[in-house]
Structure 1
Amino acid sequence: MSPLVAITGTLLAVTAVPYLAFLGLYAWVGPSGSPAEKSEAKPTVSVVLPTYNESQIVETKLEDLLALDYPMEKVELIVVDSSTDDTREIIREYFADLEAPDLTLIEEDERRGLAPALNEAYEAAEREMVVKTDCDSKLPQNVLREAAANLSDPKVDAVTGRNVEVLGGSGVESGYRGVQSHIQQLESHLDSTLIFHGPFSAFENDALLPIDPNSLADDTELALKIRRQGGRVIFDPAVQYKEASHSAFVKRRKQKDRRAMGLIRLLVQHRDALGEYGKYGKLVLPFNWWFMIVSPWLLTLTLVVGTVAAIASLGTAGAALPVAVGLFTFLGQRDALGPAQALYSLFDTQVSLLRASVELLRGKGDGTWEVDTELREAFE
């Protein structure tokens, strides 16, 4: 066996071991449902909705919110808007003849980024439970009740949920969200989950903390900070939402890379939490460090060394390895891998995490986000 082949095998084994360990831990714990002691509750609710040039879909989103199965007299809607189109005029007109929910419209004269907008909205929130949702997500009628049931557990300060339908039909994103939901369910049963989702997350108002104005992962940062101050932050598969996503490789980069940048930067900023806060710092954070920061580089190195080893051993026939990876990517972005689609979804995520690491090393990334018109069409 040539040294390059041996090195490739070693790299592959080192990359795979944490994932195999996770699968073993998942089988041992057997997580199911929410770890919270849920009970029926109807707290007052502040729904926070950040908007930027959402005139195409904002009325549909408002209809979605008013259709929720919850007493609207207990709800206030806080919209923080930095639009240059007529989004806020549409909102004002929509609420002109409504008695409930109450509306607070925060108008920004200039676009400062999502995190500062959310800080201002959270500061204005006066109700017991604070829900953050995105304009391009759809919510089932029971979502507020399910969130409230989780937060009725005095040990739980925040809850997020899962994307049950990817609007636009992206098999890549659907596969990844399926894998991610299993990860988050295990994390929540061990202690707390790391990632919180913008389409729907709910927090105890008295647990809210300011987030970094330059944050690229505002929902996850807030959840992480709440866990650091002693609250439990969990994932419940019964808390559901729908969000649009692309499958095409290039189109996904814009959406996925920005999220990846935010998560990596957040982990690095809070590296002092490793080993602290019970199983959160001893198991949850180390696994996410491995998955988001270490594994993408190891996987890339494995592919590079493996290709060199194959060509050195087999000549031009060794090029079959990069060709196979290219074919895997080609079929995966077309949702054409059948049972292997979830595996491609993980590979695609590793690509985004690697690209995000490179961009962060180059000093790139800010707190603004751009409207994706194709995804808005999927929402409609």
Structure 2
Amino acid sequence: MKRLVEALFGLVALTGLPYLIYLGVYYLRRPSGTPADTWPDEPSVSVVLPTYNESSIVESKLEELTELDYPMEKVEIVVVDSSDDGTADLVETFFAGRPEPELTLIREDERRGLATALNEAYAAADNEVVVKTDCDSRLAPDAVRKAVANLADPNVSGVTGRNAEVIGDSEVERGYRDLQTMIQILESHIDSTLIFHGPFSAFERDAIVPIDEDSIADDTELALKIRRNGGRVIFDPDIHYKEAAHSAFGKRREQKDRRAMGLLRLLWRQRDALGSHGAYGRVVLPFNWWFMIVSPWLVATGVALATLGSLAVLGPFGLATPAGVLAFTALGSRDMLGPLQPLYSLFDTQISLFRASVSLLRARAEGDEETHDGTWSPDRELREVLQ
């Protein structure tokens, strides 16, 4: 029993140590603001918008894009569409008679996956800066201006922004995004950040390279490849967007697990980047490997050891430990933990990463690693809050 307790405490210490080191570095450096704040001339911008059955929200998204605080004569909207609900027709109607911005509409005959669609759209984009956004997100009016300000730095080739407001009032998602913001601010000041966000990412057109056709972490994959080619890719907390998100545990699982699976698979495929590319490979990537791959297994093992230990000491009363974990999860998924809510947000992320890693390992054992084709289904419930 003593050895079990020692193992549990050792496991907790091992799990938490990298996070404590990170917090120490953060408070020593106290990074703040945009990593690159040069205000350049206004370069031409192509805004890439992938759509699939977005007829209920595409017009409001296009209204937003045409009202951005940026000269529309310098903007091209590239819509790549594989819908069967008339989304492409709505796009054409919206731009009929508008002299600007320019529209490039790519109609796909069949769904081939998001990554394939994005590769086609990026190849069609003509302008100096390429912005990628999602239909189910909302951008601050100055998002593009702040992005091109970052890209004016000759060392910066990509920039992403911050989810400043969670549509749908999800405390779980908000708590995780606040934690992620801290991580990405420090990463950007050290070198480059890892995760790029689908609602808003911007790249130098000449830095863009093709992404894997089966990618389910397309924005992050493009950023990682750009960093490997020598350009910095950064997070700017002053670039704001909004994204809808669920709080309910069950509803969050598909969305979070899919994202987690994409990131884990990407880290594994790009594992040779560890230790290379300056502080990105020596600091940023190792921390993300710990957070996404190692830590979730340690958390799961810790819960298992705590359960076994309490059962060994307390007998049937030891079931209070797993019951407590379940209660913590139930309350957290309902945004009912008060000051402990951010802790649950972190725990929720570790659950998704653990589930995703188990799914990937199972698929590999079955010889079926590449089962995901990169397509996605619109979340009708979340879209209702955007209408």
TM-score for both structures, normalised by structure 1:
0.99
1:210 matched residue in structure 2: 210
| Deviation at residue 38 of structure 1 after TM alignment | 2.0
C-alpha contact (below 8 Å) 2:33/2:236 kept by paired residues: yes
Q: Answer whether contact 2:50 2:80 (CA < 8 A) is retained.
A: yes
> SS at the partner of 1:76?
strand
Instruction: Give, in whole Å, the separation in 1 of the partners of 2:41 and 2:347.
Output: 41
**Shift, 1:366, TM fit:** 3.1
Secondary structure of residue in 1 paired with 2:385: helix
Residue 265 of structure 1 aligns to a residue whose secondary structure is: helix
CA offset at residue 11 of structure 1? 1.1
Contact 2:79 2:106 in 1 (8 A): yes
| Counterparts of residues 250-329 of structure 1 (less than 5 Å) | 250-329=250-329
Runs of 4+ with deviation above 6 angstroms: none
Post-superposition CA distance 1:146-167 (Å, at most 9, x none): 0011111111100001001100
Q: Which residue of 2 aligns with 1:335?
A: 335
Indicate if the aligned counterparts of 1:359 and 1:365 stay in contact, CA closer than 8 A: no
Match of 1:87 in 2: 87
The match for 1:358 is: 358
Alignment partners' CA distance in 1, 2:65 and 2:26: 35
Distance across 1 between alignment mates of 2:132 and 2:188: 20
The C-alpha deviation readout for 1:295-339, integer Å capped at 9, x for no partner, is 111100110011101110122222221111111111101111111
Residue equivalent to 2:101:
101
State the one-letter code of the partner of 2:376. Answer: W
Q: Matched residues in 1 for 2:40 and 2:271: separation? A: 37
Aligned-pair CA distance for 1:37: 4.0
Q: Which amino acid aligns with 2:86?
A: D
Aligned pair count?
A: 380
Aligned Cα root-mean-square deviation (Å):
0.9
The secondary structure found in structure 1 opposite 2:91 is: helix
> More displaced, 241-250 or 361-370?
361-370
**Structure 1 stretches of 5 or more lacking a match?**
none
Residue 56 of structure 1: SS of its match in structure 2? coil
State the identity %: 64
Shift of 1:126: 0.6
CA distance in 1, matches of 2:90, 2:284: 43
How many angstroms apart in 1 are the aligned matches of 2:207 and 2:159? 12
TM-score after normalising by structure 2: 0.97
Aligned counterpart for 1:376 among listed residues 353, 359, 383: 383
1:68 Cα deviation after fit: 0.4
In terms of mean alpha carbon deviation, does 104-113 or 359-368 score higher?
A: 359-368
Letter in 2 for 1:54: E
Alpha-carbon deviation of 1:20?
Answer: 0.8
